[in-house]
Chains A and B, each alone.
Chain A
Amino acid sequence: MEERQIVIIGGGPAGLSAAVAAKNAGADDILIIERDERLGGILNQCIHNGFGLHTFKEELTGPEYAKRYINQVIDFGIDYLLNTMVVDIDDKRQVTYMNREEGLVTIKADAVILAMGCRERPRGALNIPGYRPAGIYTAGTAQRLVNMEGYMPGRKVVILGSGDIGLIMARRMTLEGAEVKVVAEIMPFSGGLKRNIVQCLDDFDIPLKLNHTVVDIRGRERVEGVTIAEVDENRKPIPGTEEDYDCDTLLLSVGLIPENELSEKIGVPLDPVTHGPIVNETFETKVSGVFACGNVLHVHDLVDFVSEEAAKAGENAVAFVKANYYEPNRQQIDILAGEGVGYTVPQTIAQNIDEPLKVRFRVRGIYQGKAVSVYFDNERIQHKKKRIIAPGQMEEVLIKPEELNAHASIKQIKVVIEDA
């Protein structure tokens, strides 16, 4: 069986950054496996700008951001396979992939980095009555059709969900001559960035209806219209508030789910909130030598943070390969999501740290004038007032090595939102 040092599953922003960082950290045998016909992942279809402000201090489009990393992968001579699907990985890090040239192949990896990204929540996951006509797309599928394949999915559009991809597609479809009639959002707030609400909706006078959802889809062969209704505080439609919209297309921007079928085959335990693997401070999952980064770990709003986390995963995978195995040098600490916090990544700390550790998290609701606090067991270590924190924007706290060293025997760290 062929043996490779580091095998990376997925050639999107996470996989590319992990590969480049692993190379820089001294790995000389890296393989990226990508199922699409090109590297870059979803960045290839994100033709709008705003990527890279943190990483490169300039605003790039998705394809430009991807190219910066693809160029490094090529310059470094890092191996990659395209049009290749990984079908199985086991807990001994044996990776089975399939493609037209080689058929089914199993290779052994010293370390595996999971970077498969996420997929969109489809219509089937929503309980919308009606037939199954043509004209219903997830926003990301529509984005690929318009931006890469040159097709317009429709002319009169209603969008359900105000996540960033839905907002971006409202603008994109409008620029291409479609009429976007309304964006309906079931929550009382949008999960999208303010910048996207202003520049993708307000700029084109597209209404955003908060506390509204689609209750009916009309049309048998092709979408002919949808009905939108206001919802109450339990997100149940309020009778009598229905409004009909004639349209030929319904775009869904209703959430992203990490794509972890492979992780489950390995036996990696998943976090019930992120739907991604539970990882420690090195981005290692509960299975030795298997690391995870990017949107397969938790869904990000900024690609810059994906690249940053993935680079750490890549470096740590190299450290793992070089040491072959490391003995835990401290008792494991669990990092818990306390009051107001949905989840944290990482979820555990396995080793003493020698540089500040970023713990990223999302909050459950919108909080104004509250504080983010960090507790080591029952002792409050950090307390920082925030003007506003919202679920749509990932937050972080920094755990410093000296803080951990001063509390050698703690069992848990908790991040909470509390009164300032």
Chain B
Amino acid sequence: MKEEKTITCIGCPMGCQVTAVLEDGKVTEVTGNTCAIGDRYARKEVICPMRVVTSTVRVKGGNLPVVSVKTNGDIPKKQIAECMRQIRDIELTAPIVAGDVIVKHIVGTDTNVIATKDIQAV
């Protein structure tokens, strides 16, 4: 099966509209890019776009009511919503130190959700 996907390259302010041709799930051709960055970006982005997710989690008894968190690596873009659902109802108790693991193996990946900020107990 042959399909085309057009995306905006994020390599520089040019923002080239890059089109990748996919045959049986493999990129066979990249057009519209004006440099090698666009080619590299498109080949990765059209197969499996990955994103770091950053958000907050509620905290009891801290100097702030929420602590900022991130996935400590990329997760597939299509699992962002599921990731948010999994951390939405968590409530932690202060103190928290940046780097603390909040959720292991989020959405079944090798990636953990970790705190990015210290929260002192008050």
Chain B contact residues (Cβ within 8 angstroms of A): what range? Answer: 20 to 34
Interface string of B65-82 (1 = CB under 8 A from A): 110111000000100100
A136-B6 Cα distance, complex, nearest whole Å: 36
Q: Which of A49, A64, A150 contacts B56 (CB 8 A)?
A: A150
Interface string of B44-82 (1 = CB under 8 A from A): 000000011111101000001110111000000100100
Does B95 have its Cβ within 8 Å of any Cβ on chain A? no
Residue of A nearest to B13 (CB): A390
Q: Which residues of B contact A150 (CB under 8 A)?
A: 56, 58, 64-66
Interface string of B1-33 (1 = CB under 8 A from A): 000000111111111000000000000000000
Contact A149 B13 (CB under 8 A): no
Q: Which residues of A contact B53 (CB under 8 A)?
A: 175
Does B112 have its Cβ within 8 Å of any Cβ on chain A? no
Dominant secondary structure of chain B at its interface with chain A: loop
Does B104 have its Cβ within 8 Å of any Cβ on chain A? no
Q: Which residues of B contact A202 (CB under 8 A)?
A: 8
Interface string of A191-212 (1 = CB under 8 A from B): 0011101110011000000000
Interface string of A359-372 (1 = CB under 8 A from B): 00000001010000
Give the A-B pair count, Cβ closer than 8 A. 83
Task: Report the minimal beta-carbon distance from A247 to chain B, rounded to whole angstroms.
Answer: 22
Contact A392 B66 (CB under 8 A): no
Q: A199 with B10: in contact, given A59-B52, A63-B98 (CB under 8 Å)?
A: yes
Q: Which residues of B contact A198 (CB under 8 A)?
A: 7-8, 10
Q: A47 with B68: in contact, given A63-B98, A63-B116, A175-B84 (CB under 8 Å)?
A: yes
A148-B57 Cα distance, complex, nearest whole Å: 10
Contact A148 B116 (CB under 8 A): no
Which B residues are within 8 Å of any A CB, using their own CB? 7-15, 34-35, 51-56, 58, 64-66, 68-70, 77, 80, 84, 98, 116-118
Which A residues are within 8 Å of any B CB, using their own CB? 44, 47-49, 59, 61, 63-64, 67, 146-150, 175-176, 193-195, 197-199, 202-203, 366, 368, 387-390, 392-393
13 contacts between A and B (CB under 8 A): A47-B70, A64-B98, A64-B117, A67-B98, A193-B13, A194-B14, A195-B10, A199-B10, A202-B8, A368-B14, A387-B35, A388-B14, A393-B13
Q: Which 9 A-B pairs have the closest CB atoms?
A: A47-B68, A150-B65, A63-B117, A195-B10, A150-B66, A390-B13, A61-B116, A194-B15, A194-B10
